[in-house]
Chains A and B, each alone.
Chain A
Amino acid sequence: MHAGAWPRLAGAIALLLMLGFVPVRAAGSQVEYNRDVRPILSENCFACHGFDEASRKADLRLDVAETAAADRGGYAAIVAGDSAASEVWRRVASDDPSEVMPPADSHRALTPEQKSILKQWIDQGATYAKHWAFIPPIKNEPPQVADASWPRNEIDRFVLAKLEAQGLKPSTEASRQMLIRRLSFDMTGLPPSAEEVEAFVADDRPDAYERLVDRFLASPHFGERMALEWLDAARYADTNGFSIDGGRHMWLWRDWVINAFNENIPYDQFLVEQLAGDLLPNRTDAQIIASGFQRNNMVTHEGGTIPEENLANYNADRVKTFGEAVLGLTLGCAQCHDHKYDPLTQREYYQLFAYFNTLSDVGLDGNAGVNPRPFFEAKTVLSANEAPALREQISQLREQLQQPAPAEVEQWIAEQQEALAARGRDLELFPAEVLKVSTPNAGSGFDVEAGRFVIISGAGGLVAYDVALRLPSTDRPITGVRIVFHPDAAAPGGGWGFGSLPTPDLTATADKGTFVVTSFSASAESVTGDQVNLNLLRDVRKATASSWRADYRPEGVLDTGLSGWSPQISHGGPVHLTLTFAEPINAQETPFLTAQVNFGVNAPLVAKRFEFLAVTGEDDGSDLPAEMMAIIEKPASERADYERQALTHYFADHAPATERRRVALANLEERLRVLTEKFPTMVMDEAEQPRETFILERGNYAAPTDKISPGAPAALPPLPADAPANRLGLAQWIVAPNHPLTSRVAVNRCWQMLFGAGILKTTADFGAQGEWPSHPELLDWLAVDFVESGWNVKSLLRKIVTSATYRQTSAANDELLERDPSNRLLARGPRFRLPAEFIRDAVLKSSGLLVDRLGGPSVNPYTPGDLWREISHYGSSPATSQAFMQDHGEKLYRRSLYTYWKRTVPPPNMVAFDAPNRETCTVQRASTTTPLQALVLLNDVQFVEASRALAERMIKAGDNDALRLRWGFEECTSRPPTDEELVILAAALGRERHRYASVHSAAQAYLATGESERNEQLAPVEHAAWSQVAAMMMNLSEAVTRN
């Protein structure tokens, strides 16, 4: 396209923004009820003159021929063949505001074209037809086309016939580069590497494309890609969603879905096992896991809510999801009244409701990280063939960890010696004044004594205390806080706290009362605050204590994932915990410190009496156990072998230098357990005494009317004769070959995945309010073919992606943009922005950071701040997932569908790109373009880190700038840059080199982002300059687009 065409393109953009695609009907031709008339009547008339008896006006029903034509005392609403005699036409055409239909207060009006369609329809005989989607699809012979050379398969004949009728031609085939990028994202959700692109471009075998298709379909990433769509529909998440939004464990189900797609389980079986896996004869664990599909609904344990109401809501969500994800019907519309548009009575709604109303789930459940019932434990369905390699890696890592380089250990010892020597240097402790104490769940049971001691008299079940303190008025920097716990006669055995812990060897439980501090946070401000200010939390660098149990070390308070700190029970007198801040506090500027101290969950592991001291100078404590301290303080020559060994072990287990290895080891060990052990997952079952189902008046749980048994809506085919009256029967019904909806809905969703929009655009609504399909015969052909193939998903996808239709270029010329802005006619290839997950995954892959393991528990990669705690019940609830804890090591680089999905605050870098919050069934994501997306791609640690990792790979990819730039660009866009582009890239590189050459520290700062190791061999200036160019490539519009 030459430059002069550009303004015309802008004109086309305007059109694109203005118009949706409207099927064009030639004037004077035969009006078709389903295509032309029903949408008008449904949108404008049926709400008052349709199926819903309760809201019907004037006792007139227009959705059925007989009633529309019935005599109304000398006249009829519709007189077939005679619009002039039809009351409908008289009212529609009327200018009289009191007569005109639809009435003014409905805020609806018919366009002149719509009126003319109605008139024509009546004049042509007012022929009604059953709604197309309720009639089983037929596999018509694909139409004949003029250009027989273009079609590659049946799909193309349907598409081309329509194009030819419109006087349009299909576009040319996309370039090899465009094809492999498109196919790779569509089949695996990942981009092809530069090498894969080049190999495909060079592959001159006639079936190179088909081979590529087969390769992608066989990729384990195929299952991940397909699962993503289904996880949206199934509203899969890792938390319960309502209220406190505590954690749950459903990843076994998610992995079942991935596996099902990879194994190409027939779609009918896929549905049956998810709807009724627990009811199948000789059911397997995998089938029971599958039944978790309808347990993905949100649940609550908000105290005060009414269990019956909650259960009714859960079940309504199941029916809604079943409707939208499986049947393509907005069943939820009939919860309170008959459906306004579709032939579905409220009674029939509750017949479907009855199928799911028999579980043994309870109305308030799922607290403290324990799955809501019913759940069971099983092993993952994913293959464990990784296990031997994992075991090998684990033993290697362990060995490596336990045999550190002597120099490393020496260095650490030196550091420890230095730290021990510095211990207590200039130490001065000042009591802090206690201004106030509060705890979220009680107004009493705690007190302040003499402005100095916090006294706990009665600990509740959930125990976080916020203590507002005034720091001493010293001009010395406050380096930390020491909390001193005093024994008290009122505590059991004259101990420090209310609780007891079994001794580590389990020989006894001490009768001396003790406590556990699980977490500590603090903020300092110029004004006092009752509670710790989450926006100003001080980083704590070090925790030490006067003594500790081996299983409750002081650093346990720094990471809420560990058990916390508890003193040695044998110790007498006061004990203390000292927290050293990363940055000291200036008590002149911010004299008010608020500390939150969390004590052991499962009270009463709470302390009785404690005070706070402000620390200045160096803490005199150490996190080294006494025996280790003794060894370290000895001259090296005096250390015995066993002592050296002990040092090495301690170094391996606790030194900062070994943390990366320890994290890696822990991640691998967890991975091995994931593949070999059993884990809990939520499932469906049948209660011993199933709940009875009633019609609920206006959907109100407290207003039951008629008792209802399970059954299928009358407008759809009857249940199979031998179908049991339970979920298994329901499952058998929907997968019966003559079911008009199931297969259409499924193929349409696949089409949407590949083309950006379904053949029927309203993917969740095949009812009367749904849009008329762009290619109805194609939809039906595919649906029947799908069933005939044995519901074979891979072969359906293969059929579509090998069509000429799919293989067209997405480049659009002016005429096409103007004629068909949203590409409903498919005269060009599909183009859309990548889904959120693919954008992150693509960057991880190009940068080489991606860890492409399949499945397992969800992970918490980088997220700014602690967005969870800001809105959660942290400190006030035993629920899990109340404070964000970032993972480390390989868990930072897993594919995005494994990112932990907390429903009340889903990952912000995914939400920015339209990822749903998974609260409810989603079968179509929006695709917006916002400034927040730019901020994510430019500034999120995940992406900045990826830019420096991609830069490393670019530098390695060639020995000159041009080669490196080409390679990097191709990694990001799946094509080599043009010369013009290369010039811009090279200039940018030069500029960045120049810039960083003058500011080395800036280069270092940029490269320090992210936790992955940097190749220290690379000169920082050069590396940083390439990183900026890499970042630019990752931010190209094309990089987040699939053309």
Chain B
Amino acid sequence: MHPTEDFARQLTRRTFLSGAAGTLGGAALGSLLAAQSRQLAAATHGMASGSLGLPHFAPKAKRVLCLFQSEGFSHVDLFDYKSTLAQFHGREMPASVKGDQRLTGMTSGQAAFPVVAPLWPGRRCGAQGTWMSDLLPHMQTIADELCIIKSMHTEAINHDPAITYMNTGNQQPGYASMGAWVSYGLGSANDNLPTFIAMVSQGSGKNPGQPIFSRLWGSGFLPSSHQGVGLRPGANPVLYLQDPPGTTREQRRDMLDDLAQLNHLRARELGDPETLSRINAYEMAFRMQTSVPELTDTSDESPATLASYGPEVAKAGSYAANCLLARRLLERDVRFVQLFHRGWDQHIAIAKQLPNQCKDVDQPTAALIKDLRQRGLLEDTLVVFATEFGRTVFSQGALGDPGMGRDHHGRCFTVWLAGDGVKPGMEYGRTDDFCYNIVENPVHLRDLHATILHCLGIDHARFTYKFRGLDAKLTGVEEAHVVQGILAQP
């Protein structure tokens, strides 16, 4: 939360006044503090670091929704169609294409690297004739909303470093996640919910999928108040949300009022400003205990809406259910919402696994985009459908074996964006005939980070946090560029 907003908010809280009521007239105190608050608001923008006075310029989007497809979906099969690939099917990768770049330890010892054309047909859809696999029939219907980048690339070729890189800008641990950065930069836009919420679902393609880590939504070197808060199904959608057994809401309210009063007495005695923020935090916790159950109770959704997300929306903790929750979170102005869907690691039996995995996400994702569009939320939300790397055009394992799959491929992969700030119905960047190397408009994941920040009105180069003597940035120390070619015209 932005300190100014935070402070201003805390000044108007009921309990603040009621807590102090024993010693001062509430009204007088209220106006005195309001004046202090204005003073603070004016002063904060002049803070030396400036990093919290964001945005830097008028933003297109106020919120981000990141639909993270964990473990690397196959761009070869799903998005990056090459008509020429069928004719090479089963033939050894040309050495000139494969080059001498490194492979993972899982395929580097293979004797042969036969090309595998997409295992499923696809079609051109939307006004621009965007090709998408028939494994994604619902996504095909939103082609005109999507801005597909086919020329993403990363240096990492294994899960832990790659997914950490994509989410924190560094392959090694210790860095802040995208959502934490956005929370740090923009602060909260709502009163009752965390600024950054993360949800995890298990994939049907491979279960369990590759492990993921709380560092992917962690705060790294940023203050831990910016870390993503997990949202889960069940009685405690946020950990520790539920009052203990045998405790009523009224009882809790009474306790907090007493607590505030006691805390005020002592804070005055000791001159302890920290206690004021603590009282505020307890109040927000109290509000969250109501606002979170309201958020997760989807009984007010129309049958038509529920049906649009597909049958799995009824399944607690599924990707579909999380998509619906994501929309509800965005409606409530949660700044950064991130879904992690596991199970895209199709080294083995891709023919069996990939259809299942696509089924998990296809209908809910399409429904979510339509739902956001219909409710006007897409106009100030940026949606990012991302993954940590792509998959190889050559087979892992013997061609034709039911156990055959595709290995990791960092050299190029596909992500798509939607919503405000980017051009809808466009494809950007191009790979070679083998979906193996980029031939046009490469976009490094740093560039993607820079572009996301740009849509939020943040200049990535000026968005820094002092850590270990460095001005640490989400985009790291290497050069990063906003992908101008995909930005919506003002």
Chain A residues 975 to 1029 lying within 8 A of chain B, measured CB to CB, are 978, 980-981, 984-985, 987-988, 991-992, 995-996, 999, 1001-1009, 1024, 1028
Q: How far does the alpha carbon of A935 sit from the alpha carbon of B233 in the complex, in Å? A: 17
Is A917 in contact with B348, judged by CB distance below 8 angstroms?
Answer: no
Query: Which A-chain residue is minimally distant from B173 (CB atoms)?
Result: A919
Query: Which A-chain residue is minimally distant from B107 (CB atoms)?
Result: A304
With beta carbons under 8 angstroms apart, the residue of A905, A978, A1041 that contacts B214 is A905
Chain A 812-842: CB-based contact to B (< 8 A → 1; otherwise 0) = 1110110000000000000101000000000
Q: How far does the alpha carbon of A1008 sit from the alpha carbon of B244 in the complex, in Å? A: 10
Query: Which A-chain residue is minimally distant from B260 (CB atoms)?
Result: A1037
Query: Which B-chain residue is minimally distant from A978 (CB atoms)?
Result: B265
With beta carbons under 8 angstroms apart, the residue of B265, B402, B408, B470 that contacts A981 is B265
Q: From residue A478, how far is it (CB to closest CB) to chain B in Å?
A: 19
Is A533 in contact with B213, judged by CB distance below 8 angstroms?
Answer: no
Q: From residue A585, how far is it (CB to closest CB) to chain B in Å?
A: 15
Q: From residue A869, how far is it (CB to closest CB) to chain B in Å?
A: 8
Q: Which residues of A contact B239 (CB under 8 A)?
A: 864-865, 908, 932, 935
With beta carbons under 8 angstroms apart, the residue of B210, B218, B274 that contacts A873 is B210
Q: Which residues of B contact A875 (CB under 8 A)?
A: 208
**Is A129 part of the binding interface, using a Cβ–Cβ cutoff of 8 Å?**
no
**Is B29 part of the binding interface, using a Cβ–Cβ cutoff of 8 Å?**
yes
| Chain B interface, number of residues (Cβ within 8 angstroms) | 117
Q: From residue A913, how far is it (CB to closest CB) to chain B in Å?
A: 8
With beta carbons under 8 angstroms apart, the residue of B102, B223, B241, B280 that contacts A935 is B241
**Is B58 part of the binding interface, using a Cβ–Cβ cutoff of 8 Å?**
no
* Segment at the interface with B among A14-22, A657-665, A671-679: A14-22
Contact A443 to B270, CB < 8 A, known contacts A929-B281, A939-B241 = no
**Is B189 part of the binding interface, using a Cβ–Cβ cutoff of 8 Å?**
no
Q: Which residues of B contact A83 (CB under 8 A)?
A: none
With beta carbons under 8 angstroms apart, the residue of B7, B218, B462 that contacts A107 is B462
Is A535 in contact with B316, judged by CB distance below 8 angstroms?
Answer: yes
Is A16 in contact with B271, judged by CB distance below 8 angstroms?
Answer: no
Query: Which A-chain residue is minimally distant from B47 (CB atoms)?
Result: A18
Is B255 in contact with A1008, judged by CB distance below 8 angstroms?
Answer: no
**Is A6 part of the binding interface, using a Cβ–Cβ cutoff of 8 Å?**
yes
**Is A884 part of the binding interface, using a Cβ–Cβ cutoff of 8 Å?**
no
Q: Which residues of A contact B268 (CB under 8 A)?
A: 1, 3, 5-6, 9
Chain B 241-285: CB-based contact to A (< 8 A → 1; otherwise 0) = 111111110011011001101110111111111111111111011
Q: How far does the alpha carbon of A464 sit from the alpha carbon of B293 in the complex, in Å? A: 34
Contact A333 to B258, CB < 8 A, known contacts A526-B314, A527-B311 = no
Q: Which residues of B contact A536 (CB under 8 A)?
A: 233, 316-317
Q: Which residues of B contact A930 (CB under 8 A)?
A: 224-225, 281
With beta carbons under 8 angstroms apart, the residue of A243, A533, A769 that contacts B210 is A243
Contact A6 to B20, CB < 8 A, known contacts A527-B314, A906-B214 = yes
**Is B44 part of the binding interface, using a Cβ–Cβ cutoff of 8 Å?**
yes
Is B173 in contact with A984, judged by CB distance below 8 angstroms?
Answer: no
Q: Which residues of B contact A928 (CB under 8 A)?
A: 223-225
Q: How far does the alpha carbon of A460 sit from the alpha carbon of B255 in the complex, in Å? A: 56
Q: Which residues of A contact B263 (CB under 8 A)?
A: 1036-1038
Q: Which residues of B contact A3 (CB under 8 A)?
A: 23-24, 268
Chain A residues 1029 to 1043 lying within 8 A of chain B, measured CB to CB, are 1031-1032, 1035-1038, 1041, 1043
**Is A245 part of the binding interface, using a Cβ–Cβ cutoff of 8 Å?**
yes
Is B265 in contact with A980, judged by CB distance below 8 angstroms?
Answer: yes
With beta carbons under 8 angstroms apart, the residue of B206, B273, B285 that contacts A932 is B285
Is A1008 in contact with B245, judged by CB distance below 8 angstroms?
Answer: yes
Is B245 in contact with A6, judged by CB distance below 8 angstroms?
Answer: no
**Is A303 part of the binding interface, using a Cβ–Cβ cutoff of 8 Å?**
yes
**Is B89 part of the binding interface, using a Cβ–Cβ cutoff of 8 Å?**
no
**Is A183 part of the binding interface, using a Cβ–Cβ cutoff of 8 Å?**
no
Is A298 in contact with B173, judged by CB distance below 8 angstroms?
Answer: yes
Q: How far does the alpha carbon of A911 sit from the alpha carbon of B214 in the complex, in Å? A: 11
Q: From residue B203, how far is it (CB to closest CB) to chain A in Å?
A: 9
Q: How far does the alpha carbon of A330 sit from the alpha carbon of B468 in the complex, in Å? A: 6
Is B270 in contact with A1006, judged by CB distance below 8 angstroms?
Answer: no
Query: Which B-chain residue is minimally distant from A535 (CB atoms)?
Result: B317
Is A304 in contact with B104, judged by CB distance below 8 angstroms?
Answer: yes
Is A13 in contact with B243, judged by CB distance below 8 angstroms?
Answer: no
Is A991 in contact with B315, judged by CB distance below 8 angstroms?
Answer: no
**Is B288 part of the binding interface, using a Cβ–Cβ cutoff of 8 Å?**
yes
Q: How far does the alpha carbon of A11 sit from the alpha carbon of B276 in the complex, in Å? A: 13
Is B246 in contact with A1024, judged by CB distance below 8 angstroms?
Answer: yes
Is A929 in contact with B274, judged by CB distance below 8 angstroms?
Answer: yes
With beta carbons under 8 angstroms apart, the residue of A526, A870, A926 that contacts B224 is A926
Chain A 514-544: CB-based contact to B (< 8 A → 1; otherwise 0) = 0000000000011101110111100000000
Is B244 in contact with A303, judged by CB distance below 8 angstroms?
Answer: no
Q: From residue A825, how far is it (CB to closest CB) to chain B in Å?
A: 16
**Is B303 part of the binding interface, using a Cβ–Cβ cutoff of 8 Å?**
no
Q: Which residues of B contact A992 (CB under 8 A)?
A: 251
Contact A770 to B104, CB < 8 A, known contacts A443-B352, A935-B238, A981-B262 = no
Q: From residue A234, how far is it (CB to closest CB) to chain B in Å?
A: 15
Is A811 in contact with B351, judged by CB distance below 8 angstroms?
Answer: no
Q: How far does the alpha carbon of A865 sit from the alpha carbon of B232 in the complex, in Å? A: 10
With beta carbons under 8 angstroms apart, the residue of A1, A816, A919, A1035 that contacts B215 is A919
Contact A934 to B281, CB < 8 A, known contacts A3-B23, A443-B402 = yes
Q: Which residues of A contact B238 (CB under 8 A)?
A: 932, 935
**Is A855 part of the binding interface, using a Cβ–Cβ cutoff of 8 Å?**
no
Q: Which of the listed residues B211, B285, B405 has the most CB atoms from chain A within 10 Å of its own CB? A: B211
Q: Which residues of A contact B312 (CB under 8 A)?
A: 527, 529
Contact A535 to B233, CB < 8 A, known contacts A871-B213, A905-B214, A919-B215 = yes
Is B207 in contact with A530, judged by CB distance below 8 angstroms?
Answer: yes
Chain A residues 915 to 948 lying within 8 A of chain B, measured CB to CB, are 917, 919-920, 926, 928-936, 938-940, 944
Chain B residues 208 to 233 lying within 8 A of chain A, measured CB to CB, are 208-215, 218, 223-225, 227, 229, 232-233
**Is A859 part of the binding interface, using a Cβ–Cβ cutoff of 8 Å?**
no
**Is B172 part of the binding interface, using a Cβ–Cβ cutoff of 8 Å?**
yes
Q: Which residues of B contact A872 (CB under 8 A)?
A: 208, 211
**Is A343 part of the binding interface, using a Cβ–Cβ cutoff of 8 Å?**
no
Q: How far does the alpha carbon of A940 sit from the alpha carbon of B239 in the complex, in Å? A: 9
**Is A697 part of the binding interface, using a Cβ–Cβ cutoff of 8 Å?**
no
Contact A305 to B158, CB < 8 A, known contacts A1-B271, A3-B24 = yes
**Is B105 part of the binding interface, using a Cβ–Cβ cutoff of 8 Å?**
yes
Is A764 in contact with B468, judged by CB distance below 8 angstroms?
Answer: yes
Q: Which residues of B contact A874 (CB under 8 A)?
A: 208
Is A984 in contact with B271, judged by CB distance below 8 angstroms?
Answer: no
Chain B 339-352: CB-based contact to A (< 8 A → 1; otherwise 0) = 00000000011011
With beta carbons under 8 angstroms apart, the residue of A302, A317, A984 that contacts B262 is A984
Contact A1041 to B272, CB < 8 A, known contacts A929-B278, A1031-B255 = yes
Chain B 307-344: CB-based contact to A (< 8 A → 1; otherwise 0) = 00001101111100000000000000000000000000
* Segment at the interface with A among B35-43, B115-123, B420-428, B435-443: B35-43
Q: Which residues of A contact B24 (CB under 8 A)?
A: 3, 6
Q: How far does the alpha carbon of A307 sit from the alpha carbon of B288 in the complex, in Å? A: 46
What are 12 A-B interface contacts by the 8 Å CB criterion? A17-B40, A330-B468, A332-B468, A876-B208, A917-B173, A926-B223, A935-B285, A1002-B246, A1005-B246, A1006-B244, A1008-B245, A1037-B266
A443-B353, A920-B172 known; 8 other A-B pairs, CB under 8 Å? A313-B172, A443-B403, A527-B312, A536-B233, A769-B470, A908-B240, A928-B224, A987-B258
Chain A interface residues toward B at CB < 8 A: 1, 3, 5-7, 9-14, 16-18, 20, 107, 241-245, 298, 300, 302-307, 313, 316-317, 324, 330, 332-333, 341, 364, 438, 440-444, 466, 525-527, 529-531, 533-536, 702, 762, 764-765, 767-770, 810-814, 816-817, 831, 833, 864-865, 870-876, 903-906, 908-909, 911-912, 914, 917, 919-920, 926, 928-936, 938-940, 944, 978, 980-981, 984-985, 987-988, 991-992, 995-996, 999, 1001-1009, 1024, 1028, 1031-1032, 1035-1038, 1041, 1043
Pairs A-B, 3 closest by C-beta atoms: A443-B349, A769-B469, A1006-B246
